[in-house]
């Protein structure tokens, strides 16, 4: 039995329960983008995190000590290294230069070589890149994962969540395959979400080659990094969302514009959507 949107609204009004899939359908969002309660911090910490995020976008080599010095000397905050280290870890930020081995990878997690060096990328669905970024809000923050087709710059799929676990990332990449088919190669960083068995199995099980950034190399995932910069400076910082659903809908409007309303010089001023054709699903 199926119900129309009007029928479902009447059921909700009568106290009937709806599954998450039906709620997402009514709200017009993907299941993986379901509204989670945003993670919270103190007002001062949220201010610090946004400053860190802005500075890190411009200077991705910045480590904890240098970031702390910037916040103290340039921004006037009385903070210590311990506090900034915790916030940067919470945000998922790490300086791009090779550093000391401060943590041991999860047992059984496999890392793959970087496959894109000197590769000529001349067609859609040859290479996708994916990454996770921190998204500030007025009263909290969330994380966003996006998948971009390198040749066309088209955002294939995206999602927001209040956690950065491997299950979420795996669900998002599987949805991307369902929407657009599987590419030849997916490139990621060496984060634990992407080295997890379930994520790598989702790729290899669909015949996708796995490529990973070299340690300490800022430019190996450059196209998704450029998208993050555009997204934050053109939307997130200008229109900070109050809560998760507002954030999701605002991101949806911006990405629709990015894909279909904004020409790229590298595409002879065509839009990514006008340049992209999904792979055979």
Confidence class for position 266, pLDDT limits 50, 70, 90:
confident
**Chain centroid to CA 140: how far?**
17
Chain segment 53-78, per-residue pLDDT in tens: 999 999 988 999 999 999 999 999 99
Average pLDDT over residues 119-148: 95
pLDDT of residue 21: 60
Look at phi and psi of residue 181 and say left if phi exceeds 0, alpha if psi is from -120 to 50, else beta: left
User: Bridge-partner residues for 185, per DSSP?
Assistant: 127, 209
**How sure is the predictor about 8, in pLDDT bands with cuts at 50, 70 and 90?**
very low
Supply the pLDDT for residue 263: 85
- Measuring CA to CA, which residue among 136, 151, 165, 163 is closest to residue 250? 136
pLDDT digits (tens, 9 = 90+) for 100-123: 443 344 555 788 999 998 899 999
How far apart, in whole angstroms, are the C-alpha atoms of residue 56 and residue 82? Answer: 18
Confidence at residue 12, expressed as pLDDT on a 0 to 100 scale: 45
Return the beta strands (E) in 195-241 as ranges. 209-212
Q: Is 77 exposed, middle or buried (0-12, 13-18, 19+ CB in 10 A)?
A: middle
Among the listed ranges 93-97, 172-176, 226-230, 276-280, which one has the minimum average pLDDT value?
Answer: 93-97
What average pLDDT does the structure give for the chain? Answer: 84
262 band by pLDDT with thresholds 50, 70 and 90: confident
User: Residue 229 is encoded by which pair of tokens?
Assistant: 């910069």
Query: How does pLDDT run across 189-205, given as a tens digit for each residue?
Result: 988 999 999 999 999 99
Q: For strand 127-137 and strand 140-149, is the pairing parallel, antiparallel, or unpaired?
A: antiparallel
- What's the first-to-final CA gap in the chain, in angstroms? 28
Summarize the chain as % helix, strand, coil (round to 5).
45, 15, 40
Confirm if 236 and 243 have CB atoms less than 8 A apart.
no
Residue 148 vs residue 2, higher pLDDT: 148
Residues 87, 52 contacting (CB under 8 angstroms): yes
> What pLDDT score was predicted for residue 261?
93
What pLDDT, on the 0 to 100 scale, is given for residue 19? 65
Count the Cβ atoms, other than its own, within 10 Å of residue 201. Answer: 11
Contact 117, 111 (CB under 8 A): no
Selected residue with higher pLDDT from 122 and 6: 122
Whether residue 3 is predicted with pLDDT greater than 70 in this model: the reply is no
Query: Considering only 56-70, 133-147, 267-281, which range has the smallest mean pLDDT?
Result: 267-281
Query: What is the pLDDT at residue 163?
Result: 87
Report the pLDDT value the prediction gives residue 6, as an integer from 0 to 100: 42
0.85 surpassed by pTM: no
What percentage of residues in the chain have a pLDDT greater than 90?
64
Q: Report whether pLDDT(240) > 90.
A: yes
CA triplet 273, 213, 67: central angle to 5 degrees?
A: 100
């Amino acid at each position: 039995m199926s119900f129309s949107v009007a029928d479902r609204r009447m059921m909700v009004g009568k106290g009937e329960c709806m599954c998450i899939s039906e709620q997402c359908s009514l709200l017009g969002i993907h299941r993986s983008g379901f509204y989670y309660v945003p993670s919270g911090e103190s007002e001062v910490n949220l201010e610090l995190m946004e400053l860190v995020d802005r500075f890190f976008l411009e200077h991705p080599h910045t480590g904890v000590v240098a970031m702390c010095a910037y916040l103290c000397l340039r921004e006037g905050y009385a903070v210590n290294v311990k506090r900034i280290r915790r916030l940067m870890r919470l945000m998922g930020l790490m300086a791009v230069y090779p550093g000391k081995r401060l943590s041991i990878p999860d047992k059984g997690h496999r890392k793959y070589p970087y496959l894109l060096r000197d590769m000529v990328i001349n067609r859609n669905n040859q290479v996708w890149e994916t990454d996770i970024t921190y998204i500030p809000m007025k009263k909290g923050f969330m994380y966003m994962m996006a998948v971009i087709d390198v040749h066309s710059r088209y955002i294939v799929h995206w999602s927001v969540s209040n956690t950065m676990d491997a299950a979420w990332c795996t669900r998002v990449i599987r949805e991307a395959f369902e929407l657009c088919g599987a590419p030849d190669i997916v490139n990621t960083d060496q984060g634990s979400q992407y080295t997890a068995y379930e994520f790598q199995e989702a790729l290899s099980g669909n015949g996708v080659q796995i490529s990973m950034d070299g340690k300490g190399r800022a430019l190996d995932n450059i196209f998704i990094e450029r998208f993050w910069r555009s997204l934050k400076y053109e939307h997130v910082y200008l229109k900070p969302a109050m809560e998760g659903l507002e954030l999701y809908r605002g991101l949806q409007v911006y990405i629709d514009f990015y894909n279909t309303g904004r020409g790229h010089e590298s595409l002879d001023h065509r839009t990514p959507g006008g340049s992209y054709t999904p792979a055979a699903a």
